[in-house]
Structures are given as C-alpha cells and as structure tokens.
A and B are shown apart, each in its own frame.
Chain A
Amino acid sequence: MKHFFFTLMLTGMLCSQAAWADAVVIIVNKDNTTGIDRNFISKVYTGEAKIWASGEKIMALDLPENNAERAEFSQAYLGRSVNKLKLLWMQNVFAGKANPPKVVETDEEVKKLVAANKNAIGYISASNVDSSVTVVAK
C-alpha cells in the first residue's frame, strides 16, 4: 500500500513537472526592465496597450492560429478562445483602433525576434526558454 501511494505521488510530481515544462511563458528582451503583469499582457494582446512607458511601439508576437501554444496562451492569459480573440482583432482593425500582433511560425522565431528587439514581447513553451530572453510571466 505504501509503495502504491509513493508511486502515485511520484507520478503526480513528474506529471506536474512535465506540465510546467510545457507551459507557455511570456518573454521580453533582456534589456527590457519594464514591470509587466498579466493585466498589461492582456492589454497588449487585445489592442489596448500599444506603446511601452518609454514611448516606443510594442512589438507583440503571436504564433499561427492552429498552434496549440497560441490556444493555451489565449485561454490562460486572455481568458478567450483563439477564434474569439480573432473576432476582437477584426473589430479593432475595422474600427481603426489597432492592428493585430505580428504572426511568426515557431517558438524559435519568437525567441530570436525578442532577443534582437528591445520592444518585442512574445510567448513560447517553457521548455524552449534559454538565457537569450527574460521570462516575465508564467
């Protein structure tokens, strides 16, 4: 019985570790020292926040519509499905309010652009994080 509970706990721990490793995290450039919380991230990805406190334009990055990380990011950070968010961006564009984030194909591209651009913000899988970028939310 003891072995059973021990095995169960270990499995649970490993699973949660694996879940963390696959979780989506928000990254910015290493030189970006702006304090960023979930509220700000939500504003950036819904078109409300367009510039950093410095006055420079926020370069928000998105993954393709059918990407699983995008779906997870949309639900976890913005509380909406990808389709709902797409509808919101259409409203933003057709009302002349804001343009949607730039779409890139892979985590690697997001990381590369964020590492190279001080004003960029994006999300990638936690397992793909390295020292070239700063994680600001997870």
Chain B
Amino acid sequence: MPNYAWRIGRLKNSLMVCMAALGLCVIGSGLHAEESDFSERFSMNGYGYLDYIQTDANTYLDASKTPTWGNNFFALVGSAAVTDRLKLWAQLETGTDNRPRFTWAFADYQFNEAVSVHAGTVKMPLGFYNETVDATLTRPSNMAPFIYQYATDLVLDAYNGIGADLHQDIGAGALLLQAYGGNSKDSNPTPGVYDHRLFGGRIVYRTPIEGLRLMFSETRTLVRIVNGQIVDETVSIASIDYVTDRLDLKSEYGQHDFLGAKSSSWYVQAAYELSDEWKPYLRYDTFRQEQGPANDPSSFQRSVIAGVGYAFSPNIVLRTEVLFNHGYALPVLAGEMTAGSGKVNWDMLVASVNFAF
C-alpha cells in the first residue's frame, strides 16, 4: 500500500524548493549580483533542478512505474575576495532528502599568473563533470554519464586537503596540471572502511586544434579497512572532447579498482545546438563490474540516452530524455533492486527544469 501522505509531503517539499529556487533565479537575474560595488569583493550565484522520473520497470532514483518528483537539488555558491590574490569559496546545497550542508569550502591563493593553490574542502578535479556534476544546466543531459552517478561509486565529492594548479603554455597548445592530497570527503562511503588518505591529479591538454582537449585524471586512496590493513583504491578517467560553436562531442573511459573488485564505464556523447533554444543530444553509456559473470544483467548496464533541451533563457533550460537500458547494474548498486529481480530491458523517462543564476 503506497504511503500517499509521505508522497504528498515530498511533492510539497519539491515544489517549495523549486519555487524558492526559481524566485531567487528571477531576483538574481534582475540584480546582477556581480555588477554592484559590493560584489567587487563578494558574489553569490546558485543553481539547481527539479526532476520528474518514471521507468517502465525496475526502480532507480526512487522512480519506478510510479513516477517521482523527489530528486531536487539547489545550491548556492559564494565567493569573497580577501585580497587581490586570496579568495574564499563555499557551496551550500540542499535537496528534498538532505538538510542544507556545505559541500565544499576552501581558500584559493594565486601565487603568480600561472600557479594557484587551494586549501580546505575542495571539489575533486576528476574528468569533465565531477566539479559541476549537480549543475545540470551546464551540461547537455539531465542524467550525468554513469561514471559520475553515485551508484557506480567511481568518483568522490571532494577532498579535505591542499591542491595546486599550474597553467603552462607549451609550443603546441597549453597544459593545465593539477595535483592534490589529503583526506577524502565521501558522501557515499563504503561501510566498514575508514581513515581515507588520498592523492591525485589531473592533466588537461588543450591541443592546437581549436576545441580539442585531452584529459587524464587519477585519484589513489589509501584505505584502512576493518582489520587495520591498508589497501589501495584507484579511480582513473581518460577523457577527450571536441567543442565547436554548435557541436559538443565528448567521450570518457573510467575505471575503479578496490580490493580486487574492478568496475569500468565509458560513454560517447554528442550534442548539437540547432538554435539558441533547441539542443538535442545522444549518448551511448556503459557500466560493467568485471568480477561478475559477463551475461549477468545485474552486473552491467548499457544504455542509449536520447533527449532534447529547450532554453527559455541561458539561465533556465527544460529538458526531456529517454534512457533505453539493457541490464540493471545501477539500480542494484544503488540498493534499490536485488540481483536477479530486475527486468533486463527497461526504459526511463527524465524530464527536468534546470536553472542557474
């Protein structure tokens, strides 16, 4: 028997979050916060989304044949320039199921034109999307590629520690080298493990071909498991994209290795801007747990994602997409299905209002 009071409560919360966010969006676009004298030193921006999700079988992200409006997100990002070189950044976020919390907050110091360092809780530089994974307006699709979805556990929110960025022009193109070390801040920790230490980096190569970038990111975490033994957890992502004024082509391969349990994911994605308003997109996305039998549909998922976005303005985008799935590894990893209980071929509809200000 469905709990309708609970559903109505969630719907109310969803609507309140959405209305508050859209209200701020309108106010924000009117005020142009960065334009006032006060915001020479301070700035406040925000983003969020409201999703409608329904599947024709299987349960994922709380959606099944019974749709959900329960996946909402709203975040405020603030910055304060203490001096010309020192800036403080913080993000406060909330969703229907989460109380407001700071997801990252750090100090950024610009040493010279090329080198900056950060200290605090810093968003992890991994692949194309990890730093802006919840800012759905800034990417073509509603659902992030599998690499970035919490169920696959490939990427981490942020690290508590220090990091440095180096921008370097080279003869042909330019490099961005990023390195960091500290402790992990994982909002979805593996039960029974603790005391994470991590280090990693990202190399971004902007090639001489306009719009073509290559990227490699890796994070290595030293994990003390329950018996005191320290083991490695490694996440590696190789990325390539080619972006022109209208076309956005992206592809990434990610791999996760922890205690011999390996998983991998890759995708190819194309988005094309037909006009300022319309932007259709297509993605082929795969995920596989390598220790499982190759034909077990609960250990892999292959999906074709087709969708279209309509921009009411650069700050508000309405998107609808359909995921045609083969396999159901993500619902199993999310704990919403058990192995053997799902339907192999299933579809998912995701409609979303995405905004930023």
Contacts and interface: CB of A to CB of B under 8 A. Distances in A.
A96 B135 contact: no
Given A39-B169, A53-B113, A99-B79, A93 B85 contact: no
Contact of B110 (A51, A79, A95): A51
B245 A84 contact: yes
Interface of B: 32, 34-35, 40, 43, 45, 47, 75, 77, 79, 81, 84-85, 89, 91, 104, 106, 108, 110, 112-113, 116, 122-123, 131-132, 135, 137-138, 167, 169, 210-211, 245, 276, 311, 314, 356
A87 B84 contact: no
Contacts of B131: 91, 94-96
Contact of B47 (A39, A51, A57, A90): A90
Interface in A33-53: 39, 43, 48-53
B259 to A, nearest CB: 31
Given A56-B84, A79-B210, A96-B89, A51 B112 contact: yes
A61 to B, nearest CB: 11
Interface string A79-105: 111011011001101111001101110
Given A79-B210, A87-B314, A91-B135, A102 B85 contact: no
A91 B34 contact: no
Interface of A: 39, 43, 48-53, 55-57, 65, 79-81, 83-84, 86-87, 90-91, 93-96, 99-100, 102-104
Contacts of A65: 314
Given A94-B77, A95-B131, A57 B84 contact: yes
A22 B324 CA distance: 51
A39 B168 CA distance: 12
B91 A96 contact: yes
B80 to A, nearest CB: 11
Contacts of B79: 93, 96, 99
Contacts of A49: 113, 167
Given A57-B81, A87-B138, A94 B112 contact: no
Contacts, number: 83
A43 B112 CA distance: 14
A91 B169 CA distance: 22
A115 B283 CA distance: 49
23 contacts: A49-B113, A50-B110, A50-B116, A55-B84, A55-B85, A57-B84, A79-B210, A83-B311, A87-B138, A90-B137, A90-B138, A93-B43, A93-B79, A94-B132, A94-B135, A94-B356, A96-B79, A99-B43, A99-B79, A100-B34, A102-B34, A102-B35, A103-B32
Contacts of B106: 96
Nearest to B47: A94
Contacts of A103: 32, 34-35
Given A48-B167, A83-B276, A102-B35, A93 B245 contact: no
Given A50-B116, A57-B85, A104-B35, 9 more contacts: A57-B84, A83-B276, A83-B314, A90-B47, A90-B138, A94-B75, A95-B123, A96-B89, A96-B106
